[in-house]
């Protein structure tokens, strides 16, 4: 499957952005989708993940209550709604997908076989 992330940009602290991850090439509903981010000088870290049918979702503590992951399998697209953004959310955001079943390893980058190209999110203070 090919993934295309979009929707990044520059926003002031407290603002919102919605990222999209468009998929093509395979049956999208079979794939767990994860969002990861990487700030300069930092390792890539997990942000959130959603199961193929959209029933299950997990968030890291730093974004829980501010970010919402969703998906529209009819449109082969996953979304990341980011509200109450903070300067520490500044990073390149990547979407990733994998067709192994939903399990407790959804925050492990190595489980994801397919990756998008990343979209820059910059939050100014």
99: exposed, middle or buried (Cβ count in 10 Å: 0-12, 13-18, 19+): middle
| pLDDT computed for residue 105 by the predictor | 86
Query: How far is residue 2's CA from residue 55's CA, in Å, rounded to a whole number?
Result: 23
Neighbours of 3 (CB within 10 A): 23
Half-sphere exposure of 32 (CA within 13 A, CB side): 22
Instruction: Give every residue of the chain whose pLDDT is below 50, as ranges.
Output: none
Residue range 109-125, pLDDT digits in tens: 999 999 999 999 999 99
| pLDDT computed for residue 26 by the predictor | 79
């Amino acid at each position: 499957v090919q993934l295309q992330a979009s929707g990044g940009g520059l926003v002031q602290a407290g603002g919102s952005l919605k990222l999209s991850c468009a998929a093509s090439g395979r049956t999208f509903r079979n794939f767990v989708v994860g969002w990861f981010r990487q700030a300069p000088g930092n390792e890539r870290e997990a942000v959130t993940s959603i199961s193929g049918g959209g029933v299950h979702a997990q968030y890291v503590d730093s974004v829980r209550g501010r970010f919402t992951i969703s998906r529209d399998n009819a449109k082969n697209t996953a979304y990341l709604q980011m509200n109450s953004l903070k300067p520490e959310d500044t990073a390149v955001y990547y979407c990733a997908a994998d067709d192994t079943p939903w399990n407790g390893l959804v925050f492990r980058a190595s489980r994801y076989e397919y990756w998008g190209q990343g979209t820059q999110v910059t939050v100014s203070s």
